[in-house]
Amino acid sequence: MTYTVAVRELCEFTAKAGDLDLRFTPAPTALEGIAGHAAVAARRGAGYERELTLAGDWHGDGPGEGQPLHLHVRGRADGFDAAAGRLEEVKTFKGRLDRQPASHRALHWAQAKVYGWLLCEARQLDTLEVALVYFDIATQQETVLAERCSAAELRAHFDRQCRRFADWAAQEQAHRAARDAALSALAFPFGGFRTGQRPLAEAVYRAATAGRCLLAQAPTGIGKTAGTLFPQLRALPGQRLDKLFFLAAKTSGRQVALNALARMAGPAKQGGALPLRVLELVARDKACEYPGQACHGDACPLARGFYDRLPAARAQALAAPQPPVPGPLALDQAHVRAAALAHGVCPYYLSQELARWADVMVGDYHYYFDLGALLHGLAQANGWRVALLVDEAHNLVERGRGMYTAALAPGLLYDARQSPTARSVPAVKKALDRIRRAWVALDKTIAPDQPQGAAYAVQEGGFPPPLLAALQQGSGTVGEHFAEHPEQADGALQTFYLEALHLLRMAELLDAHSLVDVQRPAGAAPGGSTICVRNIVPAPFLAPRWAAAHTATLFSATLSPGHYHADLLGLPPDHAAIDVASPFAARQLQVQVARHISTRYAHRAASAGPIADLMARQFAERPGNYLAFFSSYDYLAQVAEAFARRHPQLPHWSQSRRMQEAEQRAFLERFTDASEGIGFAVLGGAFAEGIDLPGRRLIGAFLSTLGLPQINPVNEQIRARMEQLFGAGYDYTYLYPGLQKVVQAAGRVIRTPQDEGVVHLIDDRFARAEVRRLLPAWWHVDLSPTQRM
């Protein structure tokens, strides 16, 4: 059997030892790294060869008797000076080289010497000088560590690395073969497809086999998660796919996927569970055993000796579950934690290591989409062929904007200037003072344009150059300080520094997809504004992520209109789309429009009584559980007060601002098969999507809003940019996002083919044709005046 491995992957597996050391030290940016490599190469002679592609083979014994194993090792060495007979591995760095952890140095030597052997073998060399060239980004100086090695020595080194990796490679190879064989024969576990689930599954499979992107709108209740996971798993072997990433916006979405995967494997039949490794990725603060500690061996016992104990922890985590445990190998939080603690290593970083060896990763969107995303980075570095499933994909527009937006609030600079370092290091103080002066000067150019002296201004010329220069210089100074003194943890300064770097990075990437704005609250002095590089269209950032995947399916109940999502999410022009018909009949849901009520801002006070009366009449006609949605907490309170006053006998309860998880649970627990009453909630909040109240637990909803985002200076800027880019400013900014929320919230009512219910759309604008076009096709919308109630 042949197993192909990159030099870096091989050496990371075999040569990393000692502590996990993520001590805060500024690292070169990707651009600085590229420039550093180019600077080194430019200093070499004419015959210097850059970026040599090298590959070689190792033959040894596999784990079974008479089973040979063939490792194919490949990679790209940084440079070769044939005249000097020297192979160079270049590493750029900031700060003090003598502080570099020993584990990093050992890894660098291991890589350089593997390249050394591959070169000796390719060019028939007897001897070679192998050099590590450390290039200091700040001083542009090189520190060279060189060793002359014979080809025999290099070969022995190569042999040692491969031998250490061989058992693991053989195990991985066997796992992959078993996995693919099992997935090829995987049967749908839910006793037949539900209505609509089969066409969805077929579309996902077709997209996977064609290597395309699919935008799949499918109604609630058909089992979208299982309907997308199953065909995608079936497609892995045929498409030679290495990994499947299931990306969700919410924890609930991740849990549904984990449950579906567990069911999919079914009970252990004939001697074993489905050989599929499913890894749940959780945030650091949820997995950390020593909150508040820094991640290095001097501070955290689970970082000390991490790489020494990693092999045993990894082996335990990946050991196949023993029958009668059914299902795939679920590397969920509890399982990974148990393996990590059994071997005294950090659970969070163990789970990141396991991402290299798992088949299916279930995690939040940001693991693949944000600028420095772990899964995207691993996929690129290892050349994985991946499939993506994006759950509740309508959320990706807003989430994408958040990932590519950077803002610097004045409080961060204030705290940084008060920090111990700023008080004791003159260079840092001077740099921060200069930023402050540029910030104040910028603020003084912005006249108040809102009530009580508040201001909002877009910087039409891009990021203001004086502040940009001050931030660049200041972050350079602070970065140098941290590089020189990594032992000096200074939280406030570090936070400011990281936020400033993010802002500078987004300013560097500034284009029509984003704008620069300054917001000053009422009463703030100059320097009290927040400066923001605000992303509006995440498409240019997301498009390369789709391109890097073999196939991707984005699914949700609300992806209409398709062109809006394709434009904002940067889907490839040849993407496929499917709109799965609803399994529900129009008779199951009465949809009534209350045209006699306006919920426009100016009419809200007058509308509270009529809305309360409409709800009471509906309740009298059919007592049961209802949800009522409003555009804001204020509006909710107004109607709730009118409802309580006019209909005091009717039970109702309200969502409040910043509800904790337990309070949210209590809110939902009031919806039982036997209960009756109305829950008041805000549209776009915790109860407007992702909750499941089937049967009598919910029989109706009142929508006292079109969900239109508030008209404010930021949204008006977004509208202008949408008009400029897509010729659809109002629709792309207000109408489509608003109606999407309405349809999501109304979708809580009918969850099963047995459910029956009512939705009241309360506003005259719901009767307009352009609004009704955005409602689900299977709804029969009743506009008759007799429905006034």
Binding residues for ligand SF4, per CB under 6 A?
20, 284, 288-290, 293, 295, 300, 302-303, 346, 348-349
By C-beta, is 288 or 548 nearer to ligand SF4? 288
Q: How far is the CB of 584 from ligand SF4 (least distance, A)?
A: 46
Q: How far is the CB of 303 from ligand SF4 (least distance, A)?
A: 4
By C-beta, is 23 or 721 nearer to ligand SF4? 23
> Hey, what long-range contacts does 395-398 have (CB within 8 A, 24 or more apart)?
395/249, 395/250, 395/365, 395/556, 396/249, 396/365, 396/369, 396/538, 396/542, 396/554, 396/569, 397/538, 397/565, 397/568, 397/569, 397/737
Q: How far is the CB of 329 from ligand SF4 (least distance, A)?
A: 23
By C-beta, is 295 or 758 nearer to ligand SF4? 295
- C-alpha span between 789 and 772 (Å, rounded): 21
Number of other residues whose CB lies within 10 A of the CB of residue 445: 11
Q: How far is the CB of 295 from ligand SF4 (least distance, A)?
A: 3
Q: Which two tokens stand for residue 361?
A: 């990763």
Number of other residues whose CB lies within 10 A of the CB of residue 729: 17
The rounded radius of gyration (Å) of the Cα atoms in the chain is 30
By C-beta, is 331 or 642 nearer to ligand SF4? 331
Collapsed DSSP state (helix, strand, coil) of residue 316: helix
Q: Which residues contact 203 (CB under 8 A, 6 or more apart)?
A: 214, 216, 576, 578
Q: What is 413-464 written as a DSSP string? A: HHHHHHSHHHHH-HHHHHHHHHHHHHHHHHHHT----SGGG-EEEE-TTSS-
By C-beta, is 308 or 723 nearer to ligand SF4? 308
By C-beta, is 104 or 505 nearer to ligand SF4? 104
Q: Are 626 and 654 in contact (CB under 8 A)?
A: no
- C-alpha span between 156 and 39 (Å, rounded): 33
Q: What is the DSSP letter of 666?
A: H
Q: How far is the CB of 362 from ligand SF4 (least distance, A)?
A: 20
As beta bridge partners, residue 131 has 88, 146
Q: How far is the CB of 296 from ligand SF4 (least distance, A)?
A: 8
By C-beta, is 317 or 612 nearer to ligand SF4? 317
- C-alpha span between 498 and 479 (Å, rounded): 10
By C-beta, is 20 or 151 nearer to ligand SF4? 20
As beta bridge partners, residue 296 has 21
Q: Are 336 and 317 in contact (CB under 8 A)?
A: yes
By C-beta, is 117 or 306 nearer to ligand SF4? 306
CA distances from 547 to 263, 514, 543, 571, 782 (A): 31, 22, 6, 9, 44
Pairing label, strands 142-150, 127-136 = antiparallel
Q: How far is the CB of 101 from ligand SF4 (least distance, A)?
A: 14
Residue 137: which of 53, 4, 31 has the closest Cα?
A: 31
Q: Are 689 and 699 in contact (CB under 8 A)?
A: no
Chain-centroid distance, C-alpha 158:
37
**Tell me, what amino acid is at 9?**
E
Q: How far is the CB of 377 from ligand SF4 (least distance, A)?
A: 19
For residue 690, the number of C-alpha atoms closer than 13 Å in the C-beta half-sphere is 20
Q: How far is the CB of 297 from ligand SF4 (least distance, A)?
A: 9
Chain-centroid distance, C-alpha 42:
38
Q: How far is the CB of 336 from ligand SF4 (least distance, A)?
A: 12
By C-beta, is 349 or 687 nearer to ligand SF4? 349
Q: How far is the CB of 91 from ligand SF4 (least distance, A)?
A: 24
For tokens 């429905």, the residue is 787
Q: Are 755 and 700 in contact (CB under 8 A)?
A: no
Residue 257: which of 249, 266, 265, 248 has the closest Cα?
A: 248
Q: Are 229 and 553 in contact (CB under 8 A)?
A: no
Q: Are 575 and 566 in contact (CB under 8 A)?
A: yes
Q: How far is the CB of 257 from ligand SF4 (least distance, A)?
A: 25
Pairing label, strands 780-782, 589-594 = parallel
Q: How far is the CB of 23 from ligand SF4 (least distance, A)?
A: 11
Q: Are 707 and 683 in contact (CB under 8 A)?
A: yes
By C-beta, is 290 or 730 nearer to ligand SF4? 290
Q: How far is the CB of 456 from ligand SF4 (least distance, A)?
A: 39
Q: What is the DSSP letter of 97?
A: G
By C-beta, is 40 or 346 nearer to ligand SF4? 346
- C-alpha span between 85 and 688 (Å, rounded): 67
By C-beta, is 126 or 285 nearer to ligand SF4? 285
Q: How far is the CB of 346 from ligand SF4 (least distance, A)?
A: 3
Chain-centroid distance, C-alpha 547:
16
Q: What is the DSSP letter of 685?
A: S
By C-beta, is 189 or 301 nearer to ligand SF4? 301
By C-beta, is 20 or 759 nearer to ligand SF4? 20
As beta bridge partners, residue 331 has 279
Q: How far is the CB of 299 from ligand SF4 (least distance, A)?
A: 7
Q: How far is the CB of 147 from ligand SF4 (least distance, A)?
A: 33
Q: Work out whether the CA dihedral 124, 71, 376, 479 comes out positive or negative.
A: negative
Is it true that the peptide bond before 219 is cis, omega within 30 degrees of 0?
no
By C-beta, is 295 or 745 nearer to ligand SF4? 295
Residue 197: which of 462, 582, 595 has the closest Cα?
A: 582
By C-beta, is 300 or 701 nearer to ligand SF4? 300
Q: How far is the CB of 310 from ligand SF4 (least distance, A)?
A: 12
As beta bridge partners, residue 147 has 130
As beta bridge partners, residue 76 has 53
For tokens 């000067």, the residue is 441
By C-beta, is 22 or 725 nearer to ligand SF4? 22
